[in-house]
Amino acid sequence: MTGLPPAPECSCAGAGAESDPPGPAQSFLSVLPAGAAPSVAPAPGRPPARLSVNDYVNGVRGGDRGILARAITLIESSSPEHQVRAQKVLQKLLPFTGRSRRLGITGVPGVGKSMLIEALGCALCGQGLRVAVLAVDPTSTRSGGSILGDKTRMEQLCRQPNAFIRPSPSGRTLGGVARKTRETMLLCEAAGFDVLIIETVGVGQSEVTVRSMVDFFLLLILPGAGDELQGIKKGIVEQADALLITKADGENRLRAEQARQEYAMALHYLPANTPGWTTPVSLSSAVTGEGIPEFWQTVLRFYGEFEPNGRIAARRSEQAIQWLHDRCARR
């Protein structure tokens, strides 16, 4: 037993040496006299058990997924000492943030979020893009579970060297989970990920929270679930930049097309979330792949229209100000 954290086997990143409460590695190191070296030297090529602020910064900037995972664990820790170090790491990384495309994806459990993210994520990695997937899951604060916690989800994406998947942090409140997710997003940006996908389940206020972190927000809709508008909270449709009717394959296809027409009709009467943008309603199937490349084209068109005119930068500034207000209000 070396006390070292296990090297990540895949990019489904769990807790590292900074787990809260401290793991055996930390309790072991904490009883060493100052300046004493651990009796077991780290194996060559493996990071030391305790990283300095600069180790984190350099590791994250160098795109080291193992160190990125540990930096996120540091941010998620509730230990005051870890929090101080986490803030120092973040401060140093802030100048390198802001260059990713930030997408949010929501929909009721079972709508097909993880299969869609897997298909989209693999396609983007295939184009040489680096993709990070994070989750905001208010249900995990109650059940201890997590929407990305199940290791069987996104198995193929997990194996992509260009992908990084992180389950929802645990926390007592959605605000706490959201803070950690937002800071994790900044770490991933500093690590050079081109695309960040923030997944959330359509419960509580989590969609609104995720909407306030991303540039582009996608709502997934299940076809043929009785009343087509059931399960979708009032207001969330208006906040979306695109709607995808999922599982548009096999016997479901007709129902999916009907749902598409109904939502397209409903959207005529709603104000656009992004002025100047018409929210498209399309079909998708993670089984046949239909609609997924087209969805990415929609995202690119969105950036093509709203990046040059500063609309995306303005949205990010508004979000940062709102975020600051929320944090101050919670103190």
Which positions lie near ligand GDP, rule CB under 6 A?
A: 107, 109-115, 246-247, 249, 285-287
Nearer to ligand GDP, 51 or 154 (CB): 154
State the residue for tokens 């030391």: 48
In the bound complex, what is the minimum distance in angstroms from residue 134's beta carbon to ligand GDP? Answer: 14
In the bound complex, what is the minimum distance in angstroms from residue 145's beta carbon to ligand GDP? Answer: 12
Beta strands in the chain (DSSP E): 101-107, 131-136, 163-166, 195-201, 216-221, 242-245, 281-283
Q: How far is CA 290 from CA 113, 157, 209, in A?
A: 15, 18, 29
Contacts of residue 4, defined as CB under 8 A and 6 or more positions apart, other chains included, come to 17, 25, 42, 43, 46, 48, 49
In the bound complex, what is the minimum distance in angstroms from residue 156's beta carbon to ligand GDP? Answer: 13
Nearer to ligand GDP, 196 or 221 (CB): 221
Residue 5 identity (one-letter amino acid): P
Nearer to ligand GDP, 5 or 291 (CB): 291
Nearer to ligand GDP, 141 or 285 (CB): 285
In the bound complex, what is the minimum distance in angstroms from residue 152's beta carbon to ligand GDP? Answer: 9
In the bound complex, what is the minimum distance in angstroms from residue 143's beta carbon to ligand GDP? Answer: 14
Helix 174-190 to helix 53-61 angle (10° resolution) is 70
In the bound complex, what is the minimum distance in angstroms from residue 109's beta carbon to ligand GDP? Answer: 5
Nearest residue to ligand GDP by CB is 112
Nearer to ligand GDP, 11 or 77 (CB): 11
- 3-class SS at 164? strand
Nearer to ligand GDP, 129 or 203 (CB): 203
- Strand bridging mode 216-221 / 242-245: parallel
Task: Report the Cα–Cα distance between both ends of the chain, in Å, rounded.
Answer: 42
322 φ, ψ (degrees, to nearest 5): -60, -40
